[in-house]
Amino acid sequence: MNEPTVFRYLLSGISVPISESADEICNEAKIRMKRKGLNSRSLHFRLYKRSVDARRRNDIRFVCTVLVESETAISRETAMRVGLRELVAAEPGKEHGSEPMGAPPLVVGMGPAGLFAALLLAENGYRPILIDRGDAVADRVRAVERFRKDGFLDTESNIQFGAGGAGTFSDGKLVTRIHDSYCGYVLRQLHRFGAPEEILTLAKPHIGTDVLRNVVAAVLSEIERLGGKVVYRCRMDDFCEFPDGTIAVSTNRGEIRCGALLMALGHSARDTYRMLLGKQFAIEPKPMSVGVRAEHLQSDIDRALYGSFAGHPALGHAEYALSDTKGARGVYTFCMCPGGEVVAAASEEGGLVVNGMSDHARDGKNANAAVAVSLSCADYETVDGSRVLGAIALQRKIEEAAFRIGGSDYSAPVMTLGDFMNGTHGTEPSRVKPTYRGGKVRLADLSSVFSEEITASLRYAFTSFGKQIEGYDAPDAVLTAAETRTSAPLRILRKPDTMTALGHDRVYPCGEGAGYAGGITSAAVDGLRAAEALMIRFGGLS
């Protein structure tokens, strides 16, 4: 028996006090529609999205969108009069091509792009092989914790590499600037595999690293249940494309034959990038950003943004996203982690990299965010004739400088903001305590890590941001270096229609590491698009 047709519409811009419940918000939607002449008796309502409007600290409100469901279509004229817009829940297509594959597709990388690509392929009977140079979730957690406690870096399994990719050890933020119709599908899939239901309604959804680990493990288990194969500690070192369409991939665990190669490499696979350049892949440099992690007391950020509403249980902790493009270079905050910690994100020996992380509860004492300075391709010198390698070399130069002034033992160099702004150093952190590796830090002059221009831009940023958030430029804020992995500094060029790499007919570069995404959701969407393009062409295994 067929399911009854349901027509779905969205009603946006419903502003209510933060004390209002979901039922009260839906009732407000009914009242609004009735005022516009639409009887809501036969309609069904539920909260669809909710965001915080904190522009007036004495009157903080929720701005909501309500989902309206009807068993009969609402005319276009009525919908326009009431303010409804139709909602179409897009999902990846199930179209299969006719070209046979001589071997299963191979997906390289278990970050969001690789996970979602492999899941879609597995759901459609393609039995993908999914590999990553790092560990399964549980083993990866142990490797990261060992690095945190003892300073022992596993260059194959760390915060950058392993099941779930770099996003597994982050805030699990799902906010994205892209407007792809598959974004909602990604959220629904994450919820299906264990993410909290609130990610479906919050305007700034997050999962938290503690919950995201379980979600990743559940997705991988489903891929295996559907006939896919998951292989850990398996690093792609090279590959060879044959005239019959198959590809032989050389790994540290032996050769894998595949019918198509989907590369979801992640933004830190520097050795793989060099290998691809050696194979004459078309790769271009792209802008990136570098900077520091700034830590403030979360209670200070809450008061600055929420005023007397700070601490209200309906609000949670305050978040921010700041930018300024008026200076010599653009500066902005990135990956803000309420109630989080600064984490050790190195993946190469002799380099110091930091990132931010928080659990779902966001119950840490500090807030942290990257404060990053935008660099252009003109800032990269050429290395072996390549500006792409020059971009990586610039990242490495900053990371190695941070490692040295931190004591060359993966202790992080830190500095109070007051010292950084005044050109002094040596002031011990007081109210705000560094969270990196539980306090394994060393006082240092962070201006020695960066060029004079980047240092000047960071100082300008804190002055600017202090005008946007009261106290953001407080002298007792703590800075930790170096934040260098905000995105891949390159793009692997591909054909827009087939999503295959230029000159490589069965190779599909995708995700953040290929230069086509900037976070968990956008990377997952790009992985889905790549897998969909593969499915449209190939009919399955021959």
In this predicted structure, what is the pLDDT of residue 327? 85
In this predicted structure, what is the pLDDT of residue 266? 93
Arithmetic mean of pLDDT, 270-288: 97
CATH of residue 14 = 3.30.70.2700
Among 29, 61, 86, which residue terminates a domain? 86
In this predicted structure, what is the pLDDT of residue 95? 87
pLDDT(19) > 70: yes
- Where does the pLDDT of residue 28 fall: very low under 50, low under 70, confident under 90, or very high at 90 and above? very high
Establish if 490 belongs to a structural domain. Answer: no
Q: Tell me the average pLDDT of the chain.
A: 95
What is the C-alpha to C-alpha distance for residues 480 and 295, in angstroms, rounded to an integer? 8
**What are 346-380's pLDDT values in tens digits?**
999 999 999 999 999 999 999 999 999 999 999 99
Q: Are residues 461 and 501 in the same domain?
A: no
Among 86, 120, 149, which residue terminates a domain? 86
Q: Are residues 218 and 267 in the same domain?
A: yes
Quick one: CA dihedral 157, 160, 166, 169, positive or negative? Answer: positive
Arithmetic mean of pLDDT, 195-223: 95
What is the C-alpha to C-alpha distance for residues 538 and 417, in angstroms, rounded to an integer? 56
Beta strand 260-263 with 507-509 is parallel
Tell me phi and psi for residue 512, to 5 degrees. -65, -40
Strands of 61-70's sheet in order across: 44-53, 61-70, 7-17, 84-86
Establish if 120 belongs to a structural domain. Answer: yes
CATH of residue 256 = 3.50.50.60
What is the C-alpha to C-alpha distance for residues 230 and 107, in angstroms, rounded to an integer? 10
In this predicted structure, what is the pLDDT of residue 436? 98
Q: Are residues 200 and 272 in the same domain?
A: yes
Q: Tokens 């009969």, residue?
A: 72
- Where does the pLDDT of residue 2 fall: very low under 50, low under 70, confident under 90, or very high at 90 and above? low
Q: Are residues 326 and 443 in the same domain?
A: yes
Do residues 518 and 332 touch, judged by C-beta distance below 8 A? no
Q: Left (φ > 0), alpha (ψ -120 to 50) or beta: where does 398 sit?
A: alpha
Among 63, 86, 109, which residue terminates a domain? 86
Establish if 357 belongs to a structural domain. Answer: yes
Do residues 211 and 360 touch, judged by C-beta distance below 8 A? yes
pLDDT(4) > 80: no
What is the C-alpha to C-alpha distance for residues 164 and 513, in angstroms, rounded to an integer? 13
Establish if 491 belongs to a structural domain. Answer: no
**What are 419-450's pLDDT values in tens digits?**
999 999 999 999 999 999 999 999 999 999 99
| Whole-angstrom Cα Rg for the chain | 24
The angle that helices 270-278 and 387-405 make with each other, rounded to 10 degrees, is 160
In this predicted structure, what is the pLDDT of residue 407? 98
In this predicted structure, what is the pLDDT of residue 3? 61
Establish if 218 belongs to a structural domain. Answer: yes
Q: Are residues 71 and 109 in the same domain?
A: no
Q: Are residues 342 and 475 in the same domain?
A: yes
CB atoms within 10 A of CB 210: 14
* 539 vs 302 pLDDT, higher one: 302
Establish if 1 belongs to a structural domain. Answer: no
What is the C-alpha to C-alpha distance for residues 25 and 62, in angstroms, rounded to an integer? 9
**Number of folded domains that form the chain:** 3
- Where does the pLDDT of residue 542 fall: very low under 50, low under 70, confident under 90, or very high at 90 and above? low
SS3 category, 351: coil
In this predicted structure, what is the pLDDT of residue 73? 93
Q: Are residues 364 and 314 in the same domain?
A: yes
Those residues with Cβ within 8 angstroms of residue 262's Cβ, 6 or more apart along the chain or in another chain: 105, 106, 107, 108, 114, 117, 128, 508, 510, 527, 530, 531, 534
Share of the chain above pLDDT 90, in %: 91
Q: Are residues 215 and 364 in the same domain?
A: no
| Global confidence as pTM | 0.95
pLDDT(127) > 60: yes
Whole-angstrom CA distances from 526 to 115, 413, 498, 515 are 11, 36, 13, 10
Establish if 211 belongs to a structural domain. Answer: yes
**What are 394-411's pLDDT values in tens digits?**
999 999 999 999 999 999
Do residues 235 and 156 touch, judged by C-beta distance below 8 A? yes
In this predicted structure, what is the pLDDT of residue 1? 46
- Domain that residue 296 falls in: 288-483
In this predicted structure, what is the pLDDT of residue 170? 85
Q: Are residues 133 and 252 in the same domain?
A: yes
Q: Are residues 345 and 472 in the same domain?
A: yes
Q: Are residues 278 and 301 in the same domain?
A: no
Establish if 315 belongs to a structural domain. Answer: yes
In this predicted structure, what is the pLDDT of residue 541? 75
Q: Are residues 124 and 249 in the same domain?
A: yes
